[in-house]
Amino acid sequence: MASRVETKRKRAAHLGPERRRPEVLDAALVLFLERGYEGTSMEAIAGAAGVTKPVVYACFPGKDELFRALLAREEERILAEIQAAFGGTDLDDAESTLTEGYTSFLRAVAARPELYELIFLGQGGGNMAVAKRIQAGREAQAEGLATIARRWLQPRDGRSGAELDAAALVLGSAMVGLAEAAARLMLGDPGRWTPEDLGRRVGELAIAAVRSSA
């Protein structure tokens, strides 16, 4: 007859899919970064997570679904960090908001480069579903930053509210694009840039775009 300790161990080992998913995603993140999308198999993910392949399939129907879930999780973290970076500054001062926001964001990139490599360095292997997921994340980021940019635009030449909203969305998209470009620069040549130096340079570009639209 199995002891109570043995029974407890067996029960602890058989976690349900909901509790296993974070562990599987963490293991998959490492493999996708090391091997890319095409070079990573569900069997390899199972081995890295210390579970069997059926357990991985119980968590995710296939590799596409697993990768999209991983992107969704990491993009939520990135979006929260971008919004926190820009939202924690004096929004009435566009120049300090942009410079401090980009610097804060790039500090996060430097602190967790593997997370941002997954998003910004194209680990999706050209998968169409993954590309759509990344694009959806970018659009969400652009809309969030457009809300910040909208307050810097002043009505001029009879521009309507709708026209100002459109201009703000363009600025928000540009801000996201500059953040991505800066992240790629830092990841591609980490010894060349500091978050402070690159954040200042990118902030100068962004403020020029704001002034031309205001």
In the chain, the number of structural domains is: 2
Same domain, 81 and 187: yes
Residue type at 83 in one-letter notation: Q
**Tokens representing 142?**
């652009």
CA 168, 149, 145, 126 torsion: positive or negative?
positive
Cα 26 versus chain centre, distance: 15
Distances (CA, A) of 52 to 9, 57, 62, 153: 17, 9, 14, 55
Instruction: Evaluate whether residue 200 is within a structural domain.
Output: yes
Q: What is the pLDDT of residue 8?
A: 36
Same domain, 25 and 99: no
Same domain, 106 and 139: yes
Residue 188, domain CATH: 1.10.357.10
Same domain, 86 and 175: yes
33-90 pLDDT, tens digit each: 788 788 899 999 999 999 999 999 999 999 989 988 887 787 777 767 666 766 666 6
Same domain, 161 and 198: yes
Instruction: Evaluate whether residue 151 is within a structural domain.
Output: yes
Residue 19's domain comprises 14-61
Same domain, 43 and 141: no
Same domain, 178 and 111: yes
Q: Which of left, alpha, beta for 189 (phi over 0: left; psi -120 to 50: alpha)?
A: beta
Q: What is the pLDDT of residue 202?
A: 93
Q: Which of left, alpha, beta for 126 (phi over 0: left; psi -120 to 50: alpha)?
A: left
Question: How many CB atoms are located within 10 Å of the residue 20 CB?
Answer: 18
**Per-residue confidence band for 17, with pLDDT thresholds at 50, 70 and 90:** confident
